[in-house]
Chains A and B, each alone.
Chain A
């Protein structure tokens, strides 16, 4: 055993267990024939006889070569986990196939630098052993000593590694161990024990770090606990998930996310803009509250903190200006307004980019290649707990799988030229209709706006009918938003999409175009027409418009819920059963939310408290939608790729919506002159002048750096030019890295596939060789010398009787996967032994490898140093035998034959590939 440095890999006990797999058929072996003992003996003898045991090298051919790329490839029992640390350098001449690949290995066996990952690997094996049922252990014929020994070793190793970790890492590592809580407790106890016993060695740095992590952890648990107590709608979300699954749940989570967004923006605006304004007693509201204002935002509200116009442009000192002995520091409203809004948008941008990027990274980058069947199979929704929902889900899944399979068969359908033209025409028509509708709607909105702005007499605001007439525009816009998407979904009757996914994406695209063009028209109207038509306080007017749009949109949502879904259900269940119960349309609903959020963002400048309206709206919407969903709808028929859809929605929220808003706000800040009679920016050319004035007025000695930054960075074109250049370079570098990684991944994939092929091939070959030598055993009388024929026959009969496979128990040469293969062959060919032997002989006739068998090492092994220069103690291996009989005949050792056959196969493959190019 001296040559083996990796006790896990070449531990004789370990091989015994492998060997034993062969004999698993003979389950009734008496205990004194404990394979452990018997093979241990063989092993020692073999060692003495030849100095080298080649059979373990043969055994390692597939595994060793796989080990680099795939360390998880574990045999039940977890013993082969050691392959993870397999290092062929410790086995100079042995694993030929391993050596063959040795050049590529270092690259493959990339540094698994993360200790955590290593731990997980190791402990998955640990766990497997613990978790295996006794029957599986018996199946492997592992003895209790084997496993206990190994477990103890690994645990010891694990604990040593854990002790070396910092507190934080250790907690995480232990938490991630896939073992039961009880075992985790034990491990933790032992680690702590070890830790305290080693305390004498004071490590100041480690202690400090541990304390810091402890503190950090306490803080974070406090925060998460607080968050969990505040957890909104926990029960409601659970109900929805239980009945409708994750896809619909994602809509409600989106509502929740937007709600958090709104709450945040409300807190920011309220805290930094509204509260200081409330301290200012110069501006007073003289209006009377009538009630209709709630709907229109006119009258009383125009003179309130709700809108831009009410805010002062002075510094708030806490007292009224006549009594200017205010005790507080002056608070510059202009600066506060400017900075609050800009900082809010920057924070929004960061959080949006972060969530979009992480969601994109999670759901698109890695999800590209998997076919739908796999995705369907492995993502059962464990949240669903309603009995009916489970059954309908199972039914849906079954139909989808069936469809998928039939689709798979029909996929080869080729279209003729005529059909293509027709299809193209249909799509063109549909796009024509949809764009026409969008343009028509935008034009209608534009003219309605013009009419609105021309007919509104600004001086006569108190009239109720006039006030109500302002509702015309929002009602029309909301109607468009309600009806046109329905028309769009009717277009599916014109164009027949082969994939529902395409249909969905097209629908979303059209809806986004519609909504964004309407908002675009509105923005143009506000920033061009309204500004130039001489309204005294145009910001408040625009704020009122947006307020009405948001409120009316909410009412239309309720309307659509009650009348759309409710009526649909009543009609579908009572009168036209063909119509069926409505399905919750996630795409449409989410787009509505995005539309509303866009409006709310634009409105923040004009109406700082608009987030409050948004909060109320979203809060009520959650309950209304939930109620409508529970009462009227049934779960979606098709599996919704919820995660990917959510990514798309966040991207939409970012790209046309947020970026558009940002552009609008930028135009307002830098280009548009604010109204001269109201609002914080009155009297300025553009709102951005606030900053210039402020910089000019800075006189404090310590704050010169602010001026410097403003002059040299903010106002300097060169700075932005260089910044852009740097960012571009960075992007290019990352792009190149991505390209390189992609190539590497492709290579590694090829590699794994190749290894897999090698393994299958070797298994095949091994079977052939086994059957071949089997028959030669029967034919060759000289074999008597090696052991009684009777003995061999006995063994074979034993194997066949119990397992139906004659080869087991005869040759310890074994590949890791052999059990599964044998099992499949068992299932496939439950023939009697004689039949099997016959077929084996047939096979032999076909597949005999004369040159391989007669001329060993005729070919030098390419790229395998271990092969070309056999190590000094290398002795041509002979047949490994599990009993005391040894075979020294004219037959070439199986390992060599296999290795050569493998090499021949690879060469043939290479030639084939060369021929292709």
Chain B
């Protein structure tokens, strides 16, 4: 894809560099990869939205248990269908890049884990989160009792103001105490 730079003008490129945590190379690579996802006839239009199904075929996301959440969180589509434009795609890569700050990472992690988009992690969200983490197979799923106990434990230690849900600041507090988070919340193209 030698002609990839032809579509991204220099101004646009520097603007993207200024607004995201990505380097020039990473933006160009992202552009290449994004173009591969586009259908042939619309390769020249930059504002095309790639549908979620197509995005999920990327090897980096294919097996990720949170892949659909990621799409929904980063999609700016009006229809809430999880489709990504190139800018959404850059946004996604920027947040998951090496140089993104822990604050922004934990912010988006919170949104990814907030399955019902209500701004707090309540019991239902946590149940879904645990199910995502342990997989769907019946032998790995936690029993109802274990689940209750686990979520009780989590709420006990992360729900500082004891309102039964984990809000963003509480979540960020938890994240700040788990140093592995920043190194593991990364996706590299």
Contacts and interface: CB of A to CB of B under 8 A. Distances in A.
A75 B163 CA distance: 12
A221 B180 contact: no
A181 B87 contact: yes
Interface residues of B, number: 89
Contacts of B187: 382-383, 385
B164 A821 contact: yes
Interface in B39-98: 59-66, 73-74, 76, 80, 87-88, 90-91, 94, 96
A408 B153 contact: yes
A374 B170 CA distance: 12
A719 to B, nearest CB: 40
Given A74-B119, A124-B168, A178 B107 contact: yes
B163 A820 contact: yes
A238 interface: yes
B130 interface: yes
Contacts of B175: 378
A648 B178 CA distance: 16
B157 interface: yes
Interface in A328-365: 362-363
A598 interface: no
A70 B146 contact: no
A72 B172 contact: yes
B97 to A, nearest CB: 11
Contact of B118 (A139, A229, A643, A752): A139
Nearest to B107: A178
A395 to B, nearest CB: 5
Interface string A66-81: 1000111111111000
Contacts of B2: none
Given A76-B120, A228-B25, A385-B62, A366 B164 contact: no
B59 A385 contact: yes
A203 interface: no
Interface stretch (A538-546, A603-611, A754-762, A796-804): A754-762
A368 B157 CA distance: 13
Interface in B115-145: 116-120, 122-123, 126, 129-130, 132-135, 137, 140-142
A378 B181 contact: yes
Contact of A401 (B101, B111, B150, B185): B150
A437 B165 CA distance: 54
A410 to B, nearest CB: 13
Nearest to A237: B188
Interface in A206-249: 221, 224-225, 228-229, 234, 238, 241, 245-246
Interface residues of A, number: 94
B19 A185 contact: yes
A387 interface: yes
B32 interface: no
A373 B150 contact: yes
Nearest to B167: A73
A176 interface: yes
Chain A binding surface SS class: helix
B178 A395 contact: no
Contacts of A134: 80
A416 interface: no
A175 B120 contact: no
A637 to B, nearest CB: 14
B107 to A, nearest CB: 5
B108 to A, nearest CB: 7
Contact of A817 (B74, B76, B163): B163
Contact of B180 (A139, A185, A234, A641): A641
A225 B23 CA distance: 7
B149 A380 contact: no
Interface of A: 66, 70-78, 120, 124, 128, 131-136, 139, 171, 174-176, 178, 180-182, 184-185, 188, 221, 224-225, 228-229, 234, 238, 241, 245-246, 250, 362-363, 366-371, 373-387, 389-391, 394-395, 397-399, 401-402, 405, 408, 641-644, 749, 752-753, 755-757, 759-760, 817, 820-821, 823-824
20 contacts: A133-B117, A136-B116, A171-B18, A184-B19, A185-B15, A367-B177, A370-B157, A370-B174, A371-B153, A378-B109, A378-B178, A378-B181, A384-B63, A385-B59, A385-B187, A394-B135, A395-B135, A753-B162, A759-B161, A759-B163
Interface of B: 15-21, 23-26, 59-66, 73-74, 76, 80, 87-88, 90-91, 94, 96, 101, 103-104, 107-109, 111, 113, 116-120, 122-123, 126, 129-130, 132-135, 137, 140-142, 146, 149-150, 153-154, 157-165, 167-172, 174-181, 183-188
Given A371-B157, A382-B185, 12 more contacts: A70-B169, A72-B172, A74-B119, A76-B119, A131-B117, A136-B116, A139-B118, A175-B19, A178-B104, A377-B154, A378-B175, A390-B64
